[in-house]
Each structure stands twice: as structure tokens, then as C-alpha cells.
Amino acid sequence: MNKYLFQICKYLLLSLLVLTVSSPAEGDNGIYTHRTRLGIVNGLSKVLGKQIIYHFRKIPYAKPPLKDLRFEKPQEFGAWGNVLNATAYGPNCMQFLGQDNRLLPNLQVSEDCLHLNIIAPNDLNNSSRRPVFIWIHGGGFTNGQGMSVEGSVFAATGDVVLVTINYRLNIFGFVNVGMAHPRNLGLWDQKFAIKWIKQNIQDFGGDPNMITLFGESAGGVSVGLQSIIPTNIGLFQRSIAQSGSFFSLRDIGTESEKLTREIGRVLNCSNCQNGDSLCLECLRRFSARDMLLGYRKGVSNLRKGFSLKAPIGPIVDQDLIPNDIFTMLSDSTSETSKMFNSIDFIAGSNDGEAGLFYFNLIGQQKAFHFDLKQGIPTRVLCNNIVPYVTKEVLKGCDNISHAICNKYSNDGRANSLSYETILAINFFSDMEMSSLAARCLNFHNNTSKNSYQYLFTHRPTWGVIADRPSWLLGANHVDELPFLFGLRRWYPGNVTITPEEDALSSKIMSYWYNFGKTGDPNPKGTSEWPKYNKTSIKSAFIIGEYRNATVDNFHDRMHFWNEEIPQLLALCSSQQTLIVSLLVSVVQAVTPIARSHLVTHTTRLGKVTGLKIRTYNSTIYQFKKIPYAKSPLSLLRFEKPQPISSWNETLNGSEYGPNCMQYLFENDKRLIPNLKISEDCLHLNIFAPRNLNKTSKRPVMIWVHGGGFTNGQGMMFDGSKLAALYDVIIVTINYRLNTFGFINVGAGPGRNLGLWDQRFAIKWVKDNIMDYGGNSEMITIFGESAGGISVGLQSVISKNKGLFQRTIAHSGSLLLIRDIDDTEKLTREIGRIFNCPECLNGMQTCLDCLRNVSAENLLQKYAVAEHNLQNGFSVKSTIGPIVDGELIPESPIDMLLDSTSPASQMFNSIDYITGTNDCEAGLFYFDLIEQQASFNFDLKKGIPSRIVCNLFAPHVSRDIFKTCDKVSEEICKKYSIQSKNHSQSKETNQAMNAYGDLEFASLAARDLDFHSRSNKGTYQYLFTHKPIWGLIEDRPSWLVGANHADEIAFVFGLEDWYPKNIDISLSEVELSSKMMSFWATFAKTGNPNPENTQEWPSYDKTTKRFIILGEYRNSTVDGFHDRMRFWNEDVPKLVSECQQKTNTSNQANIISTGYSVGMLMIRIVVLLLLEDVFIMQ
């Protein structure tokens, strides 16, 4: 065996041993004979202070696993015939032990080791019913023994029964020849011992209905695993996992199987190379000692260089542990979850667990060029250690290496080796112990049972692991054990126990006893130790001293490992193979989406079949193509949506339905699951995490897609990641588009049908989402572009009050309604093409004529009509929402100017976020492509200022403000470069700002000004990040920031949007995580900031504060408020001056025929005149 590996094992063993030579004086041992149901047993009675402690040792709980029983599950021992001699400890299970007999009562090893030891105080009456504690020792599943804990002090002080057990170790306990033969034998031994105690402990004064498992290191792992094995339900009531998590599985079977094959090769058992069960028959022929030597040789042969992996231990065996633990626990109805939910649970770790790390690094000093006694430099962590860790987790995932290095490298607060070493210590402790404990607690926190977390921080006067580096500040691995089992039994006689340590020991014992008795570690009537709460930064209870170096940012570091790392792994897992790792818990969290199956779910409307998918550390249920209204076919074309009744047959919700009528192209296939189009499209899709229980009451987020009210679909947006990572339900919807959704033949039915569809879908969600685990009183609507306009408009429709609680409008304003005359003109042109004369006069019979046209023909002629009405460059849109006198009875700005109007009351009842991207002008690019020849410029090189002055500004003035030439002049001055010495890029930046400010940013600011009157949350963002890959692919090189729609991928999950050949950067992953967190937190609370943070300021009309999501870019961010003031204050004043120079009829003409922005600007004049009223409201 590699000498350093042997040294690690030696000190790991030392970590578990009791210094029996230092025990305080006790009364003479006497033989005590006791009668049990299994037979008579002779034990020891010992005097400890004023108490008598009874010891019964080497009690067999299973048959000796010898000969044919080697590598078999434990077998029942039954009653013993003669008087059982239980006065001396039995042998240790097969392992390598040192020669220092100070450390253990005996150094014998044997396969005949399946014994337990009972320590009971005062009396052994059946009626005593004392709480029972079962100690499972650690030792890396390769070493350890029950006798290492003598137990008298623990049992006597707490008046509890203590049981310590042996279980098979290393190759004897965790051999793996494949699925055909039992595996995890060591865990089976533990389970068998627990069952024996449950059945027999009453004979020793214990309460079989008040049993607590506890263990440390590998024992902590074992306790956790026993706590989720379904067949253990009822065997015990509580668990304490110390420095060990059930997520610390060794692997999914590959490493231990490889080791078994190597042992077979060393021992010339050829059957072992093929995973043949005959391998075990061959291995049974060797003596236990030869087997142990073969194991040591096999480990040595396979271990090459630096590694943090363990060679052997528990695995997913498809029997005792049937599946990966994340999958089982993510389903709250699984038998695994039911078991975990049946117990109270404590998990914790020490703040200096990196004492083990020290032994991993001893042999690497020369290779890594550093002196370990001096400390661990950041360069060693980043260049040597972290890459090894990353390699053992997921091959080639460099993003993880960068993220870990950034998290645990010097952040500028100090520039010393000691500080770098502290960061390295935290890295190891967090990765190996603390983050995994937090993961366990996150699952258990969802139960009705008690959950608690601790962090032990006291650096003891004397440490169990003697070779302790001077730089290890806090509590080393296993340092808590002497405080738990009695300092005087552990500390050498020449070490003085301080009063502070004595008091700390008493406190820890008291916590453990209280928990074992009541499920609450706090003494009755106190609450010093808070219950664990996964959203709280103070859930970890400090036992010891508050040490800044290890305790500061503890919660933030847990978030890093349990939230950010899984997301990074998810990016890699889609392209690479998951492999063995000590971080297998994190790997399991991101198993690829390949594992899915059909599920049938019963709702009040009927049964529906959907998909159950394992992804992103959660189970996601997907139900697609759920109808929320009747199909708008035949006579229902151009009618408002009609309610759908329940369905009798099981609804197939496993595949997306068709898109609503629109033009689609082959290159849309990458983001759209199918290119089918149909009028029968009023469907929605539901993405629900974890379970579908009605009592779950998860926040609901309804996505309304964009596409200019002419294109778009719900199926483009997979809500799985947002749902999985943030425990929300995502719903995406379809609604009728273009002429099918926004036809306008004048007063009467048929107008704003797309908005009616959206409203109908929202109401369906309100009425039915409870059946999918959603909270019908916690609904957020959000959407982008036309979807942003839509959610804004839904937020001022008075009929919607109570349907939803929050709104997020991306790049779309509720003020951007279309011009009623333009939309009616388009309908007349379509009627003319189809020879429907009724349409030319605005008659309702026009709709009857158009209902006789096929959907495909109507779509085609709609496109022709749009083309016919185009007349060169324009900033107007001819289709979309209008003032219809019903759903939108007046222009939104008129309704909102009256703070007492139903629209204002509706708007004031919700929390509201809106924002834009800093380079929305990617859309402007497409408007200008056809203008290059006319204006003699090369668009690929940029947009000259003369285009702003001679094209954009005049058209804005003409189309929006008619005869107000002064507006054109001021736009030119504001957004052109006046100096001679400037670059084309500066002119282009100004031109981009002109378009983005007019069309998006200034209107968002107006929405916010209105909403800030309310007492609800109001927030603004500016997304500025230029992504590696953009949704709008034809992107000019001069577009420096975030194009239109660029933020969507960051909200729904980059990996579902970026092409597979695009590497996603760490900074983009971090930005996406931040945005998803903001959006989900807002949906839950109405405030996007996580608890106890204020990174995103609320918006108010005075300060107009907003958050920048991305980079601070001078060209787009500088002067932002000044530019908003130009459009929302200066331009309205100019318009007012123009009005004064024209007659009333001309003014009316401006208002009635202008583009929506013009309508807005005119009304802003009124708003400015009523500023005092505005502020008071």
C-alpha cells in the first residue's frame, strides 16, 4: 500500500479510538448475570460515581459470516443455548490495525465480528423504558469498531441506554461483483443490528419506541442512509449524522466493481474479471488475512497520484439503495421520502474538517512545489487540487474549476499564506461535509418532523488526530467526539481539561440527550438551537466559538455548492458522462433528462397523461397541450374564447400541440418542438416540480410569449429549469395571433381576441392550478416584447382583479396599444382581397364572409395585405391590441391618469417589474436594411447620425406627432454627434439609443411612474449583457449590448437555448442564476431580493432607481435618466407648443390618428399639468 495512503488510514483509525488508559478511577468490575428472552448473559457491573453501569459486550446479532456466509447478507443468530459470556469485547471486523494497544481494548481481527455492546445505567428493568442511542462508528468503511466508544459516561450522564455495533468493512463489507449478488453488506449488517436492538433492547431497560441512531464520518454517512431505507420505517425515531451525509455514496457501483476485479486479479480469480458470481466462490477459498492483503494490494494498484476519492463504501445497489437518492427524495410520495419524513433529524459538521485534507496532501508536496507545514497556497488549490476534483466529478467541465477557484481564492481582503490556507480549509470542509449536510437538511426541511443543523467550531486543548498542522484553526475531523462521550475518557492524563471545555461537553451531551428523548435538542422551554430553515442564513447553530474565518459567509458557501455548482454541472452533463465522485450528490442532482416516463394524473376536469422527468436536482411533471378553451373553429373563428368542459377520456398531455396560425420556417426547428400550425391552438403547458399535491401551494408563473402579435408560441419556452431550481410552477400559453387574434371590423365582436384568449388562460390557471400543486392566490404573469405589452395590458384590465398578484413586463409597455384606424384599414384590405364587400364598410357581416375562407388562405392573404399597406420606412405597427370600448374601454394612459378609475385600482393591486435591454435596436437594424440604397450608407458599418436626423426623426414626427417639426429637430440634436472629431461607432450608439428609448425604455419609465403611486412593489431593470449567443441571429457587429429578447435565455436557462457547440461562460451562468432567483423570489414575495438583501432597489418617481443586470456600459447606461426625461418631459412640452399653433381639429386629428407613442406624448402633457395631483395619489 502506498505509504501515504497507509498513514491516512492510520490517522483515520486514530480519529475513532478512545484512550482507555486515561480513564478516571472506577469501582471494581463485577460479573452480573442477566436473563433475557434470548437466554442468560453474563456482563459487567461498574461503579461510576454514584451510579452502576452495566456492560454487555460481544452480543451476537447475526450468525458469523464465515465460509459460505462470507459475502452474504447477515443471517439471524437466534437464541444462545448456554450462558453467554459478555464480559469482554469481541474482535474487530477484518481491517489493518496498528500495534499500539493503548488505543483499543484488543487488537484482534476476525470475520466473526457481528457483535454489539450494550451500556445501560442503574437498572435493567423492562419497565425502565430509557431512551436508546445506537452508535455507528466511522473509519472510511475500511476501519473502525464499536469498542472504540466505552460509553459509561454517556449512558450514566443522560440516563440512556447506549449500544455500539460492529459491521463488515472494506472488501468484506462492500464487495461488488455486479447486480447478481448482494452488495452493501456493511449496511445490511447495520440494519440487522438496528432490528435486533428494536426487538430486544427492552430486556436491557431500553425503550424500543425511542431509538436514536447517531454516528460520525462513515458512521454519519451510514446513519443518513439508514434514515432513508424504506424497510427501516418504525425501527427508530431519530437520527444524528455527524460529519457524514447520505449523499456521500462512493459511486454508482463502477469504482467498487473495478476494485473487486483488481482484487480478483491479484488473487488469480479469473471469474472476477467478467463480473461473474463465481468470483465470490473463488474469493471464499482464501483466508481472511489473504483476502485483506489482496484488498490492500488492489487499492494500491488502482490509486495513482493525488485523489480525494474513497476506494470502497456504499453504492446504489438497486436493492437496499434502489436508485440515486436525489431521484427518490425528490418524489415526496416515494417510500424513501416517507421513511425520511418519519424521523427527526440533526446533521452537522466541524469547521476544520480539512485535517483529513492534510493527509491527502502530504505525498504531493514535491509534485505541487509547496511546503505543507507552512500552509496551502491558492495556486496549489487552483492549479492542482481543484482540477483533480473537477476531473473526478465530471470530465472536462472547466467551468466548475473556474467557479471553485474564484470562490476559494484570495479576494483581496488579505495577501498572506495564512489567509489562502483558510480558504483552502473552507473548500475541503464545505465540499466534503457541510454542503452535503445542508443538502440532506433541505430535503428533510420539507417534512413535519424536526430538522436541525450544527457547526462545531471549538479547537480542543487536545485533538484526537495527533498530527495536526499548525494552520488548522478550528475543530478538526472527529474533534467533537471527546465532548460527546466524556473528555476524561479521551484526554491523556497529563492534559488539563479547562472549565470552558467541561461546560461545552456538558452542553453537547445535553443537546444530544434532549433530542433523543423529545426530538428537540433544546432543554424544555428554551429555543437556543433554532430549527433548520433552508431560506435562513442563521440555520447552522454554532457549537463553540464564532470564528470569522470559517463561519463568515457559511450560508453563502452552502448556496454555492448546492445551487450554483449543480447549475454548472447541468451545463456539462448534457454533453458529457457522469462519473464516480465524492461529490456524487451534486452529480445526481443534474442527471440528464433522458430518464422520463409517462404518468397519469387525476384532476377535477379529468385524467391527463404527462411526462415525469428527472432534471436539475428535481422531478418535473410536464403536461402539454391542455385545452383552456374550445377550439375557435368554424363559427367560433373571430369569437371570444368559450369555456371548455371536462374531458371523459384520458387527455394526452405528453406532446405539444400545434402553434396558432402564423408563418414558420425550417430554421425555427431548433427552438420549437414542432412546426405545425392550426386554429385549434388554445392550449397551455404546465411544468410542475417535485409533486402534484394540492397542499403544496407553489407559486405560479404564467409566461405570455412575444412575437409582435403576429408570431410566437408557448412551446418555445421550456419551464423545467426555472421550476426545478426555484420550486415554482411555470405555465406557458398560446393565444390567437395576427388577423385571427386581432381583426378589427369596427364596433362589435372580434376585436382584441388574442387578449381575450390570454385572459381566459389566466382564469383557467386560477381555477385549476391547485390540481397541479399550485397556489391560485400566488400567480405572476410575465412576458416579453408583445408578451410584455400583453401582461401590462392585462394588469390594467379591471375585470382581472384577483386573477393574479404580480406582473413582470420584459421590453413591452402597456401604453403600446395599436392605432385603431390602422388595424381597421388592414381588415378592409384583407376583405378587398377576398372580395368581401362587407369589410369595406366596417360591417359585422364581414366576419361571416371571412369565416368561409380556409385558415391557410386567410393567413396568406393577411401577409399580402400587410405588404400592400406598407409604404417605405415606418415606425408604426398595423396589428395588435386596440382601444375596443370593452376590454380596453379607453386608452391606458387616460385610464391611469384617473387614480380612482377601475384600471388604476387594478394596476395598484399588483406588484410590478418592468425593464428593457440596452440595445433593443437590433430590431431597428431590420427596419433599415431596405433603406441603405436610398440613403447611401452601409448598415454593416453602422448607423450615421444623418439617418437619425433625415430618416428616423422625421418619420417619428410625421407618424406620431404629424406637423410638429420641432420634435424632429430636437430628436436630431439629442441623438446625433455634433462635434467633428468622432467615430462612426459613437454615431451608431446614439442611433441605437434613439430607437430603444422611444420604443421601449421611455414607455417602461412611464409605466413605472404610474405604478409607483401604489403601495405595492415597483421595480425596474436594465439588462446590458451581450451574450455569447443571441436569439436573434442576424446581429450586426456594432450592436454592443443586449439585443431585443437576449434576456429570455437567462431567465429560462441558458442550456435550453444555446446551441450545443457554444460554450457557456461562468459569468453567464452566474448572471442567469441571479436573474432566475430574482424572478422566482418576486413571484413568491413581491420583492425580487432574497431574504435579508437589498441588491435591487425599489423604483420611485423621484430617484428612479433601477438595477443593471449585466455590465455597466457607458454608451448605453450613461445619461439614461436624462434621455428618459427628454422623452417623458421635454417632448410632451414640445408637442404642447405645437398644439397651441394649430386649431382644435388638427389637435384632434393628431390624437386620433397618431401611433400609440404619439397618443402617449399628448396625454403626458396633461399628466405634467396635473403633476401635483399625480404625486398626491
> Is the CB of residue 1024 less than 8 Å from the CB of residue 1042?
yes
Interatomic CA distance for residues 620 and 593, integer angstroms: 10
Question: For 1060-1065, which contacts have Cβ atoms below 8 Å and span 24 or more sequence positions?
Answer: 1060/574, 1060/575, 1062/1028, 1062/1029, 1063/1028, 1064/399, 1064/571, 1064/1028, 1065/399, 1065/1028
Beta bridge partners of 547: none
Interatomic CA distance for residues 702 and 758, integer angstroms: 10
Q: Which three cell numbers stand for residue 445?
A: 426541511
Interatomic CA distance for residues 901 and 710, integer angstroms: 31
Interatomic CA distance for residues 777 and 883, integer angstroms: 29
Helix (H/G/I), strand (E/B), else coil: 344 = strand
Which is the catalytic residue, given 785, 790, 968, 1073? 785
Interatomic CA distance for residues 374 and 382, integer angstroms: 17
> Is the CB of residue 778 less than 8 Å from the CB of residue 697?
yes
Interatomic CA distance for residues 833 and 861, integer angstroms: 7
> Is the CB of residue 499 less than 8 Å from the CB of residue 464?
no
> Is the CB of residue 866 less than 8 Å from the CB of residue 666?
no
Q: What is the 3-state secondary structure (H, E, C) of 426-495?
A: HHHHHHHHHHHHHHHHHHHCCCCCCEEEEEECCCCCCCCCCCCCCCCCCCECCCCHHHHHCHHHHCCCCC
Interatomic CA distance for residues 1066 and 801, integer angstroms: 41
Beta-carbon contacts of 599 under 8 Å, excluding residues fewer than 6 positions away, are 609, 610, 611, 612, 621
Interatomic CA distance for residues 442 and 456, integer angstroms: 19
What does the DSSP 8-state code read for residue 122? S
Terminal Cα distance for the chain, rounded: 80
Helix (H/G/I), strand (E/B), else coil: 994 = helix
Residue 332's Cβ-side half-sphere holds a number of Cα atoms within 13 Å equal to 17
Q: Residue 625: which H helix or E strand, with range?
A: strand 618-627
Task: Please indicate whether residue 985 is annotated as part of the active site.
Answer: no
Interatomic CA distance for residues 243 and 453, integer angstroms: 11
Residue pointed to by grid coordinates 483499543: 104
Inter-axis angle of helices 398-407 and 386-393, to 10 degrees? 140
Burial class (CB in 10 A: 0-12, 13-18, 19+), 950: middle
Beta bridge partners of 163: 118, 134
Residue of 534, 364, 315 whose CA lies nearest to 439: 534
Interatomic CA distance for residues 741 and 734, integer angstroms: 11
Helix (H/G/I), strand (E/B), else coil: 1021 = strand
Q: Which three cell numbers stand for residue 999?
A: 420604443
Residue pointed to by grid coordinates 487536545: 462
Beta-carbon contacts of 761 under 8 Å, excluding residues fewer than 6 positions away, are 628, 629, 682, 684, 702, 731, 733, 735
Do strands 51-60 and 84-85 pair parallel, antiparallel, or not at all (unpaired)? unpaired
Interatomic CA distance for residues 1116 and 435, integer angstroms: 40
Task: Indicate which residues carry an active-site annotation.
Answer: 785
